[in-house]
Structure 1
Amino acid sequence: MITPRFDILGQAISDASRTQMLCELMEGRAYTNKELAAAAGVTPQTASAHLRLLQDAGLVVAEKRGRCVYHRLAGPEVAHALEQLAAIAPADSLHRAQQRKAGDLAQVRSCYDHLAGPLAVAMTRALLDRGMLREEHGAFCAVPAGEWLKLGVVLPEKPGRQPFARPCLDWTERKLHVAGPLGRLMLDHALDSGWVRRRRHKRGLVLTTPGARALEQILGLSCGGLVAA
Structure 2
Amino acid sequence: MARMAHPDPAAPRLAALAALLADETRAAFCLALLDGRAWTAGELARYASVAPSTASEHLGKLVAGGLLAEERQGRHRYLRLAGERAAHLVEDLAAQVVTDAVPERPRTLRAASAGSALTRGRTCYDHLAGRIGIAIADAMTVRGLLEQDAGFALTDDGIGWFGGLGIALESRSRRPLVRSCLDWTERRPHLAGVAGAALCRYALDARWCVRIGSGRAVKATAEGERALYEHLGIEPDSIR
Matches within 5 A, 1:86-125: 86-89=94-97, 90-92=100-102, 100=112, 102-103=114-115, 104-125=117-138
In 2, distance between residues paired with 1:198 and 1:87?
22
Which residue of structure 1 lines up, in the alignment, with residue 193 of structure 2?
180
Q: Does 1:166 align with 2:166?
A: no
The equivalences for 1:45-84 within 5 A come to 45-84=53-92
How many equivalent pairs are there?
224
- Equivalent residue letter for 2:44: L
Assess, with a 3 A threshold, how the Cα gap between structure 1 residues 71 and 206 changes in structure 2: closer, same or farther. same
> Structure 1's 23 and 151: CA in aligned 2 closer, same or farther, altered over 3 A?
farther
Whether the aligned pair in 1 keeps the contact of 2:135 and 2:239 (CA below 8 Å) is no
2:18 corresponds to 1:10: yes
Q: Which protein is richer in helix relative to its size?
A: 2
Q: CA RMSD in A?
A: 2.5
Aligned to 2:234: 221
Q: The residue matched to 1:173 in structure 2 has which SS?
A: coil
Query: For residues 143 and 201 of structure 1, do their structure 2 counterparts lie closer, same or farther at Cα, with a shift above 3 Å needed?
Result: same
TM-score by length of 2: 0.84
Query: How much does 1:224 deviate?
Result: 3.6
CA distance in 1, matches of 2:195, 2:67: 23
- More divergent stretch after superposition (199-208 vs 68-77): 199-208
Q: Percent identity?
A: 38
Selected match of 1:148 from 162, 169, 177: 162
Q: Report which of the two structures shows the higher radius of gyration computed on alpha carbons.
A: 2
Residues 169 and 198 in structure 2, CA contact (< 8 A), matched pair in contact too: no
2:103 and 2:71 map into 1 onto residues whose CA distance is 30
* Aligned amino acid, residue 225 of structure 2: A
Task: Provide the rounded CA distance (Å) in 1 between the counterparts of 2:58 and 2:113.
Answer: 23
Distance 1:2 1:155 in 2: 37
Please give the TM-score of this superposition, normalised by the length of structure 1: 0.88
Q: In the alignment, which residue of structure 1 is the partner of 2:4? A: none
Q: How far apart in 2 are the matches of 1:66 and 1:159?
A: 33
